[in-house]
Structure 1
Amino acid sequence: MYSTLIDAATLARHADDPKWVVLDCRHDLLNPAFGREAFAAGHIPGAQFASIDDDLSGPKTGAGSTFRGRHPLPERAALVEALRRFGIDGDSQVVAYDAHGGMYAARLWWLLRWIGHEGVAVLDGGLPAWQAAGQPVTADLAPPRAPGRIAERPSLTRTVSVDDVVSNLSTQGFTVVDARANDRFRGENETIDPVGGHIPGAKNRFFKDNLGADGKFKPAARLKDEFAPLFASPSSAVMQCGSGVTACHNLLALEVAGLPGAALYPGSWSEWCAVAERPVATGA
């Protein structure tokens, strides 16, 4: 069972294993059609496309038309149904990949852990690493899989709500770590964040800082050294980003580093800044 990262050679050895399910999670925040188009143009043989918007997120508004963020968590039952459509069973090994250093694949990794499925890993280096290893891509669609039988189990993750984060402004019971790029954290990128800045007291750990020059995750010891100054302990840390997607990359990096236990704030900045009364900090 692989529960954090997997390399291209290992995935290739299991290309014909019926217990393995490979999901392509490519996406573009500014071009929602990108993922499906990229998948149609070429993907890992046998892979299926998992849409960040349609399969891995829920409705943007909740009870009373409350805005829940740009990529809210799906309802658990809806997520289970989506995973069954991909043919995932309770004992399946799931492999998620993208072409962006794992920034979207990590969302699927986290969601499966959220419903208690441990056998899920991110392809280290993604599609570029697969191709660099001389492995093939195809535009052909895999034959349909039989519906899976995955079911909810006790969660392997935890979350905090926007109310928890509001309360934390005064209690300082946990440290918020923001995975967005530095310019977005400082409030200097209006293209993606019309309301710029960050939650007061948050620290910045850009998710790409988890990667080496080769686009793969840094060694565990190095990740551990880099995360250590950010919080007292993983259990006192909450990961967030723009909409709860790339924050999962930091959560994956923490698992790789041997620092499990941090929580996700799913609504993240897009939910936080939607209410003008919530305070905003700018700058470094």
Structure 2
Amino acid sequence: MRYTTLISATELAQHALEPDWVVIDCRHDLALPDAGRLAFEAGHIPGAQFAHLDRDLSGSKTDAQGIFRGRHPLPERAAFVETLRRWGINNKSQVIAYDAQGGMFAARLWWLLRWIGHDAVAVLDGGVQAWTASGMWLSAELRGKPYGDIIAQAPLVTTVDAATLVANLQEQTLTVIDARAPDRFRGENETIDPVGGHIPGAQNRFFKNNLQEDGRFKPAAQLRAEWQAVIASPQAAAMQCGSGVTACHNLLALEVAGLPGAALYPGSWSEWCAEPARPVASGD
């Protein structure tokens, strides 16, 4: 059985140390970039390895021409495949990603693996909190795996770029959904977004709306009903956020809901607002 969206703590405990299973700790703090690594070293799911958002799950902030690509642009595919091999991932590996933030960082790894054509990847529902709440223990032991041989395949996901969304301002063929917190969407949080606001015409669907109070994802039927009230067709929708990270949480929620096909705008707001010629909206 392949897990391709979510996995429970109980299910993970039954398989975590199997040779073909690779568990990746994606904990992170945007304000304290070393916090995830420190938390991992203090205690992690046994056998897990650590992924750093900035170094492992993102690429260079500028392209070959020096143009800003956003705070967390996609890594180069070849470099990302090399990272996966370093973690011991093969084409037949079942990968499990987890964090302590409701899946906001683990979903990024989930999406990236689908981006290089690997579908056997799931997010631990409820994160490390669900693991410990189920009575499982954390380990400080650092345990690597033999070097993997995963090969990039055709992407299982799609992306859109800034030019597409600029054209969409007139065409209105795509529904654009912003996963940031409402105050950031409205342009009221200058600490995180020096240029406040959102892409004109975008709608706000805060990623935490995908979760229940206990940090687990809402049931599939509930997610489906809520998302169908927001987008008419996933294939005509683009997900974005501040830098292309939490937008992946909305994409995971859509997959859980049985509504696949929406695209990711990797550069997201941080790339969009870096070009003064692009229009900015504020408020609701």
Q: TM-score, normalised by structure 2?
A: 0.99
Report the Cα distance in structure 1 between the residues aligned to 2:21 and 2:282, rounded to whole angstroms.
Answer: 45
Report the Cα distance in structure 1 between the residues aligned to 2:205 and 2:176, rounded to whole angstroms.
Answer: 10
Report the Cα distance in structure 2 between the residues aligned to 1:70 and 1:13, rounded to whole angstroms.
Answer: 37
1:269 lines up with 2:269 in the alignment: yes
Q: Please say if residues 81 and 152 of structure 2, whose CA atoms lie closer than 8 Å, have aligned partners that are also in contact.
A: yes
Report the Cα distance in structure 1 between the residues aligned to 2:64 and 2:177, rounded to whole angstroms.
Answer: 28
Report the Cα distance in structure 2 between the residues aligned to 1:248 and 1:204, rounded to whole angstroms.
Answer: 14
Task: Determine the structure 2 residue equivalent to 1:77.
Answer: 78
- Structure 2: gaps spanning 5 or more residues: none
- Find the residue that maps to 1:63 and give its secondary structure: coil
Amino acid at match of 1:178: D
Q: CA deviation at 1:202?
A: 0.1
1:66 lines up with 2:64 in the alignment: no
Q: How many pairs align?
A: 283
Q: CA deviation at 1:15?
A: 2.6
Q: Please say if residues 16 and 23 of structure 2, whose CA atoms lie closer than 8 Å, have aligned partners that are also in contact.
A: no
Q: CA deviation at 1:63?
A: 2.4
Q: CA deviation at 1:18?
A: 0.4
- Find the residue that maps to 1:169 and give its secondary structure: helix
Q: Deviations over 1:46-84 (max 9, x none)?
A: 000011100110000002110000000001000100000
Task: Determine the structure 1 residue equivalent to 2:228.
Answer: 228
Q: Which runs of 4+ in 1 moved over 4 A?
A: none
1:25 lines up with 2:26 in the alignment: yes
- Find the residue that maps to 2:90 and give its secondary structure: coil
Task: Determine the structure 1 residue equivalent to 2:199.
Answer: 199
Task: Determine the structure 1 residue equivalent to 2:134.
Answer: 133
Report the Cα distance in structure 2 between the residues aligned to 1:105 and 1:99, rounded to whole angstroms.
Answer: 9
1:189 lines up with 2:189 in the alignment: yes
Report the Cα distance in structure 1 between the residues aligned to 2:17 and 2:265, rounded to whole angstroms.
Answer: 37
- Find the residue that maps to 1:23 and give its secondary structure: strand
Q: Please say if residues 17 and 46 of structure 2, whose CA atoms lie closer than 8 Å, have aligned partners that are also in contact.
A: no
Aligned-residue RMSD, C-alpha: 0.6
Report the Cα distance in structure 2 between the residues aligned to 1:39 and 1:220, rounded to whole angstroms.
Answer: 30
Q: CA deviation at 1:41?
A: 1.0
Task: Determine the structure 2 residue equivalent to 1:11.
Answer: 12
Q: CA deviation at 1:173?
A: 1.1
- Find the residue that maps to 2:96 and give its secondary structure: strand
1:153 lines up with 2:132 in the alignment: no
**Stretch deviating more after TM superposition (223-232 or 23-32):** 223-232
